[in-house]
Amino acid sequence: MGNTQVIFQVVGVVGSGQATRPESRLSISTLAQPPPQVQICSYIQSKTTSSVVNSNLACSSRISSCSDFTSGHSWRPIEAVKLHRRAVSSIRISCAATKPAKTPAEEEWKVKRQLLAEKRVRSVDVKEALRLQKENNFVILDVRPEAEFKEAHPPGAINVQIYRLIKEWTAWDIARRAAFAFFGIFAGTEENPEFIQSVDVKVGKNAKIIVACSTGGTLKPTQNFPDGKQSRSLIAAYLLVLNGYSNVYHLEGGLYTWFKEGLPAVEGEE
C-alpha cells in the first residue's frame, strides 16, 4: 500500500481537425509496478503539464470489450483523439489518494491459473452445463453485474456479481470515477468485497457450482493466448477454491454462447 498523488486534467482547446500533433496527444503508458488492471497517463504537451490517473479498473467496464474483464487486461495505446470545434473549460481534480492493498482477485493470472489446475477446476461447454444442471443438481453461478443478469440468464441461475458499481467516495474512488468518466464510462465498477460471503449464503460450500460470466475466458492454451485467457468467471472460480469450495466448474464460452445456442433463458426479470 502506498500514497499516490492523483491529478486528472482535461484541457480544452479552440480549433478544428484531428489532434494528431504531439502537443495534443493522448496515450496510455505503463508505469513502474503497475496494478494488474492498468495505469493511465495522459498529457497535453503544449501545457507542459503531465497528469496521471492510476485507475483500478474492473472487468465489466473496461475500455476494451468490457463486457468481460476478460480480465486479460488487454489494452492498446490511443495514438490520437479528435477534438471538437469548441472551447472546453479546464477541469482539474487533484487529491492525494491511497491505493488499497492488492486483493486475491488482483493476483497475477499465472498464479490463478496454476491454482485452478491444482484444484482440478474443469471447464464445460454450455450443453454439458445444462445437462449437469438438470441431471446432477449443479448450480449455475452467474457472476455478471446484476443489471446484465436481469436482462437474461439461464433458468435457476443464481446471481452474485463479482464486480459492482463503485460505491464509496474516498479520494481513490473519486480518482477512479474521474478516469472512467474521461473515457465516457459513467458506471465504473470495483471488486465486490462481499462476493464470497454472498455465495456462502446463496449457494453454500457443499454445492456443485458452474461459474459463468459473459465470455467465459479459457484455461486452455491457444496460439493467441498460450497461458489461457482470464475472465470474470475464472477469477470467481479462483476465489471460490481459495476459500474452500471443492466442486467448482467453469462455463467455457460464457453466457454469450449459451444464448447464441438458443438454450433456455429467462428474460426481462425485474
Q: Give whole-number Cα distances, 90 to 13, 17, 151, in Å.
A: 9, 20, 39
59 is catalytic: no
Q: Which residues of 151-186 are buried (b: 16+ CB within 10 A; e: fewer)?
A: eebbeebbbbbbbbbbeeeeebbbbbbbbbebeebe
Nearest to 30 by CA among 11, 54, 6: 54
Contact 162, 193 (CB under 8 A): no
Bridge partners, residue 92, by sequence: 9
Residues 6 or more apart in contact with residue 185 via CB below 8 angstroms? 61, 63
The CA distance from 249 to 226, in Å, is 21
Amino acid, single-letter form, for residue 60? S
Grid coordinates standing for 256?
454469450
Residues 6 or more apart in contact with residue 111 via CB below 8 angstroms? none
Neighbours of 150 (CB within 10 A): 15
User: Following CA atoms 48, 53, 54, 55 in sequence, which dihedral angle do they give, to the nearest 10 degrees?
Assistant: -150
Contact 5, 98 (CB under 8 A): no
Residue tagged 457450482 (cell numbers)? 209
Q: Is residue 136 helix, strand or coil?
A: coil
The residues that are catalytic are 213
